Amino acid sequence: MADFNAVAKQFVDFYYQTFNADRSTLQALYRDNSMLTWEGTPILGKGNIIEKLVTLPFTKVTHKIVTLDAQPSVAEGSLLVSVTGILVVDDSPNPLQFSQIFQLLPESGSYYVFNDIFRLNYGA
């Protein structure tokens, strides 16, 4: 098995660079059985996931990763990836904290996102 931490870092770097540049091109990372839970709302299938991502109410976004943790998962070669970070939308002076968890499954020498859970983290 490849070094799962290196695979997770490579995936996360690619995911957020792509998200920041053109969210619509993330479609290649999802499948029809993939699920995104966005702020508590479940969304099934790559078409619906990409529709959600491209219709988010901002035009510019920048992610800064603060933590990245990864573990091998149940299915052989699969990974569980947990990310926390800060994002800035439309050059707002108020950055937002977020957390995101990915379940990556191997496919043809690469990985796709089977599960994706995203939450903004608000202070109490």
Domain residue extents for the chain:
4-120
The correct answer on CATH 3.30.2320.50 for the domain covering 4-120 is: no
- pTM, two decimals, is 0.93
What's the CA gap between 22 and 32, in Å, rounded?
A: 20
Provide the pLDDT confidence category of residue 89 given band limits of 50, 70 and 90: very high
Residue 103: the pLDDT is: 97
Q: Is pLDDT of 99 > 80?
A: yes
Contact 112, 105 (CB under 8 A): yes
* Region 67-95 average pLDDT: 93
Q: What would the pLDDT profile of 1-15 be if each residue is shown by its tens digit?
A: 458 999 999 999 999
Residue 1: the pLDDT is: 47
